[in-house]
Structure 1
Amino acid sequence: MAKIFGLLAEPTLQTLYMVGLSSLFAILLGLPLGIALALTEKGGLCESRVAGKALDAFVNVFRSFPFIILMIILFPLSRLIVGTTIGTTAAIVPLSISAAPFVGRVVQSALKEVDRGVIEAAQAMGADVKTIVLKVMIPEALPSLAAGATLTVIAIVGSSAMAGAIGGGGLGDVAIRYGFHRFRSDVLIAAVVVIIAIVQGIQWLGNKIVRNLSRNR
């Protein structure tokens, strides 16, 4: 058993590295996308039928791609950014891009939950759109945003395991190469146990952050 978990030590670090950076970049890409979706949708502060429908279609198209297919399609972009299409760092590019539309939807949904009366009060005081978004909508939606971020990180953990199927490294790579191809069910089970532990840890931390934010509102 010690040898098995020794085998999983480096892949576990690779998975945490992939998930951590991919989550960061996905949030950086998805947050402005979600804000734009919320602002341009029907009833939004910058309602625009054309822009709203265009953004909505863009998000739907990218969310429809299975991750493995999207990863293959993005090989040229990965090569352009990190110089290779294989390995843990290369996998961060498609992981980030595939999760960004999901983050956008999460942000859009969270901002829509903000009490309309609070927004109208800010408008009545002369606040512009930027101020309302940064000072009213985002602070009010923080618990929902934190819950959505938790879901995003967990989804990226699952995608990172799939990335191992085509050279992404991490726990998914070990599970496939050693557990499946070499018929090592013990390695496969151990990899799954570690992935479950990571997901449980992320969920626990996310729940704690959401509770703290809810109490501080």
Structure 2
Amino acid sequence: MKTDKQLKDDILAELRWEPSINAEQIGVEVKDGVVTLAGHVNSFVEKWAAEAAAQRVSGVRALAVEVDVRLPELSQRNDGEIAGSAENILEWTSYLPKDSIKIQVEGGWITLSGDVQWEYQRRAAVDAVRNLMGVTGISNNIVIKSKVSANGVKADITEALKRRAIVDSQKIKVDVQGADVILSGRVDNWAERELARYTAWGTAGVANVRDDIIVAF
């Protein structure tokens, strides 16, 4: 098990290793495996990359992000321009049904709403607008309204976990209530927890996933 100092050093090294991040602008604090990132970055995609980098490090039990986006003058755009770009890129995203997503922009912050049938479509919408110039943040209020029956969801998730050798399916308990899935149990690292959640979201009929999995070392 890593000490807090070892974990902090590893996260700082991971931030420096990631070329899309200016690590000098981000501070790291660790207490009992809970990591806090603080500081400021020049774009929302850099903030997202910093979060992802911290989550990749073994030993992270939880992550708090207190990083704000300060756009350079050349990257600043008005809300109308951002909304127009977001609308165009979503229209060209093949994963999304036409006119399924609504866009609202205020102060560079994009709020997405609407209905889709799958979690991968919900993620695709965020991925599409995340890299747009001028974006300071994203709220994903897209709702999953699946037309697929939830019967057999628990068996589907359990079998999928068995196929992925990185996760011991016996560590994870899967409960299904209608189209909602509740994951619990203990895993060895953040990557296993993320894989379990990803597997649940990728199962037909799932509309919501509650992740109660504990990362234990």
Q: For the superposition of Structure 1 and Structure 2, which TM-score range results when normalised by the shorter chain?
A: under 0.3
TM-score using structure 1 length:
0.21
Structure label with greater radius of gyration: 1
The structure in which a higher percent of residues are helix is 1
TM-score by length of 2: 0.21
